[in-house]
C-alpha cells in the first residue's frame, strides 16, 4: 500500500524512528555483535537514503532487527525448555554447551560458565570425555577473555590432557594453539613459540588449513614479539598463502595487515603500504571492527614512520574511533555482564525477601487468628444488632433495585424512541434516495433525447455538407475543365507559333541567302543582269511577307500600340537606308484605339505598300507619317516630298490596286493625292 504521509506526520514519525534507531544501536552494542554493529553503522549512513523511500521499509527493517534481538532470547528460552525435559545424556551435554556458547556471545559470562560447568559435571558423570574436553576449552576461553590467564591456562591444560588421552589430534593442536596464546599474553614468548610450532606440525599433518594458517599467524606474532622480523614475515606470508587458498577474506586481511606491520618494522615502506592498503580494502569489505582498528593502527604507524604526519593523524583518528567503539563494546559487554550479575543477584535477593515476607505474613496470620477468638465472644451481642441493620440494608437495597429498574425502563423507553427516530430518518433517506433516482433517470432520458436530436442534426448537417460539397465539386470540376481546355488551346497556340517561327527561320534564312547570292553574282558580273536583280528582290519581298505573317499570328502583338511601333520601326529601317528623313506622329490616345484584327492587319499592309512605293519611286528626302483619332474618325496619312506620280493613271502596278482593295475590305476611305513634282500624300480614313 502506498501512503503519502503529510509533512508533519512524517516528521514526527521520522523523529520516532530515529529514536528507535538509537535505542536499537545501544541494545545491539550491548549484545556485542560486531556484525550487527556494522549493520547498524551502515544503516545509519544509508538512513539519508532510506528517508526518501517509504518509511514503512524503515520500520520493517527495525522490526526485523528487533526480532533478531528477541531471537537470541528466544533461542535461549527454547534451549532451556529442552533442558527441562532432557535426559541425562550426551545430547543434554551438547545442549548445555550450546547454551553456554549463547550466553558467552551475549557477554553473560556468569551464565555461560554455569552452563559449561553443568555440562562438565554431567560429562564426568556419564564418562563423556569429549564433552569434558570441550567444556574445559570453552571455560578457558572465557577466563582468557576476562584476562584471568592462570585460570584459563589451568582449564586449557586440562582440555589438552583429555585430548591427548582421546588421541584427538585436532583437539591437541587447538589446545596447544590456545595455550601458546596464553603464554604470549603472559610474556613467555619462547614457551608460546614452542606450543605454536607443535600446533602447526599437527595441523599440517592432519591437513587442516584453517588451523595451519592460524598457527602460522601466531608463530609470526611470536617472532614479532621477539623482534625477529624476518621470521615473522616469513610466517605471515605463509599464513597469507593458505588464507588465499582458502579464500577466507577475513583471514587474508588479517595476514596482510600483520605482514604490512612487519614490513614497516623492516623499513620496507612501499611494500608495507601496499599490504596495509590491501588489508584495509578487505577489512572495509568485511566490516570487522577489530580488523579495521588494527589496519588503521598499522597504517598510522607506517605513515608516521615515513613522515606523512597528516595521513598518519587521519589514520590514527580512525584507529581511535574503532578502538573506542570496541572499548565501548567491551565496556558494554562488561556492563552487560555486570548488569546480568546484578540482575541475578537482585533476583536472589528478591527471592530471599519474598521468603521472609512470606514468613512474616504467616506470623501475622497466626496472631490475627488468636485475636479473632477473643473478639468472637463480644461479637455475638453485636450480631443481633447487625441482623437488624442488615434487614434495613436489604430493604434499602430492594428499593434501590426497584429504582434502578425504573431507571432502566426509562432508559429503554428512551432508546426505543431514539431507534424510532433513526428509523424515521432512514425511511426519509430512502425516500429521498428514491426521488433522486427518479430525477436522475429523468435526466438520463432527457440526455438521451438530446443526444438523439444532436445526432439527427449532425446527420442533417452531414447531408447538407455533402450536397454543398457535391455542388462545389461540380463547379470546381467545371472550372478545372475550362482551364484545362484553355491550357490545351494555349499549348496548341504555342506549338503553332513555334512551328511558324521555325519555318520562318529556315525559309527566311535561305531566302536571305538567295538575296545575297544574287547580289554577289551581280557584283561579279560585268554587266547588269536584271534577272539577278529580280531574284534578289523577290526573295527579300518573300522574307518580308513571312516576317509579317509570323508577327501578326503572335497574339502578343494584338494591341494597336504594337502595330504602331512596328510601323515606326519599318519606316525607320526603310527610310533610314535611303537616308530619307521622316517624322512619325502617333499620339498616345491613338495607340489606345481599339480596332478589330482585320482592320489592323489591312492598315498595316496599306502602310507598308505606301511606304515601299515611296522609298522606291518617289526619290523623296523627307517624309511625314501621321496617325490620328479625332471625333471617332480614325485617319492615317503618309506624305513625302518626292517627285510624285500621276495618280489618275491606272497602270500603277499592283501596289496601288492592292491598297485600294484592302481599304475597301475594311470599309475605309483611301485618298491618293499626288501631282508630278509635288510630292505624294496618301490618306486613309475610317469610321471608328
Partner 1 sequence: MAIRVMIFEDNQSLRESLYQLIHGSEGFTCTGAYENCSHLLENIYKNKPDVVLMDIQMPGINGIEAVRMLREKYPDLKILMQTIFEDDDKIFQSIYAGASGYILKNTSPVRILDFIKETYDGGAPMSPTVAAKVLNMVAQHSPKTKDFNLTGRESEVLVCLVKGMSYKLIANACFISVDTVRGHIRSIYEKLHVHSKGEAVATAIKSNIV
Which residues of the shown chain bind partner 1 in the complex (CB under 8 A)? 501-502, 504-506, 508-517, 519-520, 536, 540, 543-544, 546-547, 550-551, 565-566, 568-569, 571-573, 575-577, 579-585, 625
Residue 627 DSSP symbol: E
Q: By C-beta, is 428 or 572 nearer to partner 1?
A: 572
Task: Supply the minimum distance, in Å, between the C-beta of residue 504 and partner 1.
Answer: 6
Task: Supply the minimum distance, in Å, between the C-beta of residue 591 and partner 1.
Answer: 11
Query: 179 vs 159, 172, 183, 318, CA distance in Å?
Result: 10, 10, 6, 32
Task: Supply the minimum distance, in Å, between the C-beta of residue 520 and partner 1.
Answer: 6
In angstroms, the CA 487 to CA 340 distance is 115
Residue with cell 431507534: 419
In angstroms, the CA 364 to CA 609 distance is 172
Q: By C-beta, is 543 or 659 nearer to partner 1?
A: 543
Q: By C-beta, is 168 or 621 nearer to partner 1?
A: 621
Task: Supply the minimum distance, in Å, between the C-beta of residue 466 and partner 1.
Answer: 48
Task: Supply the minimum distance, in Å, between the C-beta of residue 543 and partner 1.
Answer: 4
Q: By C-beta, is 579 or 651 nearer to partner 1?
A: 579
Q: By C-beta, is 69 or 517 nearer to partner 1?
A: 517
Instruction: Decide the pairing of beta strands 581-586 and 622-630.
Output: parallel
C-alpha cell at 635: 485617319
Q: What's the gap between Cα 104 and its chain centre?
A: 51
Q: By C-beta, is 300 or 610 nearer to partner 1?
A: 610
Residue 233 neighbours by CB distance under 10 Å: 22
Residue 228 neighbours by CB distance under 10 Å: 15
In angstroms, the CA 32 to CA 327 distance is 11
Q: By C-beta, is 573 or 632 nearer to partner 1?
A: 573
Q: By C-beta, is 28 or 586 nearer to partner 1?
A: 586
Handedness of CA 331, 334, 336, 338 (dihedral sign): negative
Task: Supply the minimum distance, in Å, between the C-beta of residue 515 and partner 1.
Answer: 7
Q: By C-beta, is 201 or 540 nearer to partner 1?
A: 540
Length of the chain: 688
Counting runs of H as helices and runs of E as strands, what totals does the chain give?
21, 5
Contacting residues for 522 by C-beta, under 8 A, at least 6 apart: 528, 529, 532, 533, 536
In angstroms, the CA 670 to CA 125 distance is 169
At residue 512's C-alpha, the angle toward residues 511 and 516, to 5°, is 120
Task: Supply the minimum distance, in Å, between the C-beta of residue 575 and partner 1.
Answer: 7
Task: Supply the minimum distance, in Å, between the C-beta of residue 637 and partner 1.
Answer: 15
- Would you list the DSSP string of 212-263? HHHHHHHHHHHHHHTT-HHHHHHHHHHHHHHHHHHT-HHHHHHHHHHHHHHH
Residue 617 neighbours by CB distance under 10 Å: 17
Task: Supply the minimum distance, in Å, between the C-beta of residue 511 and partner 1.
Answer: 8
Q: By C-beta, is 413 or 585 nearer to partner 1?
A: 585
Give which of 562, 639, 576 is closest to 604, Cα–Cα. 562
> SS3 for 580?
coil
Residue 563 and residue 521 in contact, taking contact as beta carbons nearer than 8 Å: no
Task: Supply the minimum distance, in Å, between the C-beta of residue 508 and partner 1.
Answer: 4
C-alpha cell at 11: 516528521
Task: Supply the minimum distance, in Å, between the C-beta of residue 683 and partner 1.
Answer: 19
In angstroms, the CA 131 to CA 623 distance is 156
Q: By C-beta, is 228 or 552 nearer to partner 1?
A: 552
Q: By C-beta, is 223 or 570 nearer to partner 1?
A: 570
C-alpha cell at 658: 492592292
> SS3 for 529?
coil
In angstroms, the CA 498 to CA 496 distance is 5
In angstroms, the CA 519 to CA 585 distance is 35
Task: Supply the minimum distance, in Å, between the C-beta of residue 529 and partner 1.
Answer: 16
C-alpha cell at 580: 530619307
Q: By C-beta, is 369 or 577 nearer to partner 1?
A: 577
The most distant pair of C-alpha atoms in the chain lies apart, rounded to whole Å, by 202
Both ends of the chain: CA-CA distance in Å? 102
In angstroms, the CA 253 to CA 296 distance is 12
Q: By C-beta, is 364 or 589 nearer to partner 1?
A: 589
Task: Supply the minimum distance, in Å, between the C-beta of residue 475 and partner 1.
Answer: 37
Task: Supply the minimum distance, in Å, between the C-beta of residue 636 and partner 1.
Answer: 15
Query: 120 vs 86, 99, 139, 450, 489, CA distance in Å?
Result: 16, 13, 10, 97, 128
Q: By C-beta, is 440 or 558 nearer to partner 1?
A: 558
Task: Supply the minimum distance, in Å, between the C-beta of residue 539 and partner 1.
Answer: 9
Amino acid at each position: 500500500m502506498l501512503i503519502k504521509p503529510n509533512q508533519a506526520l512524517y516528521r514526527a514519525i521520522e523523529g520516532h524512528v530515529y529514536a528507535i534507531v538509537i535505542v536499537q544501536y545501544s541494545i545491539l552494542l550491548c549484545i556485542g555483535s560486531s556484525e550487527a554493529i556494522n549493520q547498524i553503522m551502515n544503516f545509519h549512513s544509508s538512513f539519508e537514503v532510506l528517508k526518501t523511500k517509504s518509511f514503512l521499509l524503515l520500520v520493517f527493517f527495525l522490526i526485523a532487527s528487533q526480532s533478531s534481538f528477541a531471537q537470541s532470547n528466544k533461542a535461549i528460552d527454547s534451549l532451556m525448555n529442552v533442558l527441562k525435559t532432557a535426559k541425562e545424556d550426551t545430547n543434554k551435554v551438547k545442549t548445555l554447551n550450546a547454551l553456554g556458547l549463547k550466553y558467552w556471545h551475549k557477554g553473560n559470562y556468569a551464565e555461560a560458565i554455569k552452563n559449561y560447568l553443568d555440562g562438565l559435571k554431567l560429562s564426568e558423570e556419564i564418562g563423556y570425555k569429549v564433552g569434558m574436553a570441550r567444556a574445559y576449552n570453552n571455560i578457558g576461553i572465557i577466563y582468557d577473555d576476562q584476562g584471568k590467564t592462570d585460570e584459563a591456562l589451568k582449564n586449557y591444560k586440562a582440555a589438552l590432557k583429555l585430548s591427548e588421552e582421546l588421541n584427538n589430534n585436532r583437539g591437541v593442536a587447538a589446545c596447544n594453539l590456545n595455550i601458546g596464546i596464553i603464554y604470549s599474553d603472559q610474556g613467555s614468548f619462547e614457551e608460546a613459540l614452542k606450543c605454536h610450532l607443535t600446533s602447526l606440525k599437527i595441523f599440517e599433518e592432519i591437513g587442516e588449513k584453517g588451523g595451519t594458517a592460524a598457527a602460522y599467524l601466531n608463530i609470526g606474532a611470536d617472532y614479532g614479539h621477539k623482534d625477529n622480523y624476518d621470521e615473522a614475515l616469513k610466517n605471515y606470508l605463509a599464513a597469507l598463502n593458505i588464507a588465499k587458498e582458502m579464500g577466507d577474506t577475513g583471514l587474508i586481511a588479517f595476514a596482510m595487515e600483520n605482514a604490512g606491520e612487519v614490513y614497516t618494522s623492516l623499513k620496507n615502506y612501499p611494500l608495507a603500504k601496499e599490504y596495509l592498503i590491501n588489508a584495509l580494502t578487505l577489512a572495509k569489505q568485511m566490516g570487522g571492527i577489530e580488523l579495521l582498528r588494527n589496519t588503521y593502527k598499522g597504517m598510522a604507524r607506517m605513515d608516521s614512520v615515513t613522515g606523512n604526519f597528516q595521513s598518519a593523524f587521519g589514520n590514527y583518528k580512525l584507529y581511535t574511533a574503532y578502538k573506542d567503539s570496541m572499548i565501548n563494546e567491551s565496556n558494554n559487554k562488561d556492563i552487560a555482564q555486570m548488569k546480568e550479575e546484578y540482575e541475578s543477584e537482585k533476583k536472589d535477593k528478591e527471592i530471599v525477601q519474598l521468603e521472609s515476607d512470606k514468613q512474616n505474613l504467616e506470623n501475622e496470620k497466626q496472631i490475627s487468628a488468636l485475636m479473632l477468638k477473643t473478639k468472637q465472644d463480644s461479637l455475638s451481642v453485636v450480631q443481633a444488632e447487625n441482623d437488624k441493620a442488615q434487614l434495613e440494608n436489604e430493604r434499602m437495597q430492594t428499593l434501590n433495585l426497584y429504582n434502578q429498574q425504573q431507571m432502566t425502563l426509562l432508559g429503554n423507553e428512551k432508546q426505543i424512541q431514539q431507534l424510532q427516530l433513526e428509523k424515521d430518518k432512514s425511511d426519509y433517506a430512502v425516500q429521498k434516495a428514491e426521488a433522486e433516482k427518479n430525477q436522475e433517470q429523468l435526466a438520463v432520458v432527457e440526455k438521451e433525447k438530446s443526444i438523439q436530436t444532436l445526432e439527427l442534426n449532425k446527420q442533417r448537417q452531414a447531408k447538407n455538407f455533402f450536397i454543398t460539397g457535391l455542388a462545389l465539386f461540380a463547379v470546381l470540376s467545371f472550372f478545372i475543365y475550362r482551364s484545362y481546355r484553355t491550357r490545351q488551346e494555349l499549348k496548341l497556340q504555342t506549338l503553332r507559333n513555334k512551328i511558324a517561327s521555325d519555318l520562318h527561320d529556315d525559309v527566311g534564312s535561305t531566302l536571305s541567302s538567295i538575296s545575297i547570292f544574287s547580289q554577289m553574282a551581280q557584283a561579279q558580273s560585268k554587266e547588269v543582269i536584271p534577272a539577278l536583280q529580280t531574284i534578289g528582290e523577290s526573295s527579300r519581298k518573300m522574307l518580308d511577307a513571312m516576317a509579317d505573317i509570323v508577327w501578326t499570328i503572335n497574339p502578343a502583338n494584338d494591341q494597336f500600340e504594337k502595330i504602331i511601333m512596328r510601323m515606326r520601326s519599318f519606316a525607320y529601317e526603310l527610310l533610314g537606308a535611303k537616308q530619307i528623313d521622316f517624322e512619325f506622329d502617333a499620339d498616345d490616345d491613338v495607340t489606345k484605339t481599339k480596332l478589330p484584327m482585320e482592320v489592323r492587319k489591312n492598315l498595316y499592309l496599306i502602310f507598308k505598300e505606301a511606304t515601299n512605293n515611296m522609298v522606291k519611286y518617289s526619290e523623296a528626302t523627307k517624309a511625314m507619317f501621321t496617325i490620328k483619332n479625332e471625333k471617332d474618325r480614325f485617319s492615317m496619312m503618309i506624305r513625302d516630298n518626292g517627285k510624285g506620280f500621276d495618280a489618275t493613271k491606272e497602270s500603277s502596278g499592283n501596289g496601288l490596286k492592292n491598297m485600294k482593295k484592302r481599304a475597301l475590305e475594311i470599309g475605309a476611305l483611301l485618298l491618293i493625292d499626288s501631282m508630278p513634282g509635288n510630292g505624294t500624300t496618301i490618306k486613309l480614313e475610317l469610321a471608328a
